[in-house]
Amino acid sequence: MSNNFETATFAGGCFWCMVEPFDQRPGIERVISGYTGGHVENPTYEEVCSNTTGHLEAVEITFDPKIMPYEQLLNTFWQQIDPTDPGGQFNDRGESYQTAIFYHNEQQKQIAEKSKQELDESGKFSKPIATRILPAKPFYRAEENHQDYYKKQSFHYRLYKKGSGREDFIKNTWENKIDKSKLKEKLSPIQYHVTQENGTERPFQNEYWDNDKEGIYVDIVSGEVLFSSKDQYDAGCGWPSFTKPVDPYQVKDKVDNTHGMIRTEIRSKSSDSHLGHVFEDGPQEAGGLRYCMNSAAMKFIPKDQMEKEGYGNYLYLFGQR
């Protein structure tokens, strides 16, 4: 394994729900479900659930900190859990479902403690943060049927995440509430129409449909990175088209039944802005998807301006570190 990689270990309740938020993101090599923090070697799922082993359900993440900094992993971790609950997570109760950050070195410990303190002082929650910060202990890989559960049993996983209360908690607690009156002052009429009213700009008459410069596209509302010119191609449709987002975690899809069609809408997770649609007629060699976006929903940051604009950590996309 490359020397660039480090390990992060998080316990966030049921480990089924802690793989998807990290998996398939840039800089993530792998995410493993397992057990840690206890006193029993090679425990089984049944033993851990009995709350007699001292173990917590957890995920072990192998990551490249130059691409996905530990601070960013922590931000994602906090946004998957109720950090004020000392007795478990949502419908899952007991010791094995408690939350914890297991640090692997002194730097991770300091970053985690600072992150926890900032969350505690932010006023986000009325109760104190209960998530513990603990030294890493041996991690035991869970049984194979628990690995990548969100992929293997996607229907049951979705039902479980919704039924447990986790999905609604995340939406109600962590999704940004946008003041649309202020946005009207910040955005141009077409930017507002596209992002807030699910509008569509004219093909071949928008800013980036034929852009051939190197750089990244960010959410015009939140500034989160969405797409890279490395994944842009000319689809002949008159809108900027991409084979994939930079970070799948930053976009979400939604069924769109408007205009007498059934389409998959793409929205920004950070701002809930309408971005465009995704279709299955993209280049097969790149996965077969076409993310057809509205220029008005994005801002282009040229490669030579990325450092200045605060996006220097994304220069890895262009072979620069």
Six-digit token string for 73: 């992993």
Catalytic residue list contains 292: yes
Q: Per residue, what are the HEC states of 73-89?
A: HHHHHHCCCCCCCCCEE
Catalytic residue among 14, 17, 49, 237: 14
Catalytic residue among 17, 49, 237, 292: 292
Inter-CA distances, 299 with 188, 196, 256, Å: 12, 16, 24
Catalytic residue list contains 237: no
**Residue 120: burial class (beta carbons within 10 Å; 0-12, 13-18, 19+):** middle
Picking from 79, 37, 76, 44, the residue whose alpha carbon sits closest to that of residue 58 is 37
Six-digit token string for 258: 């408007």
The residues annotated as belonging to the active site are 14, 292
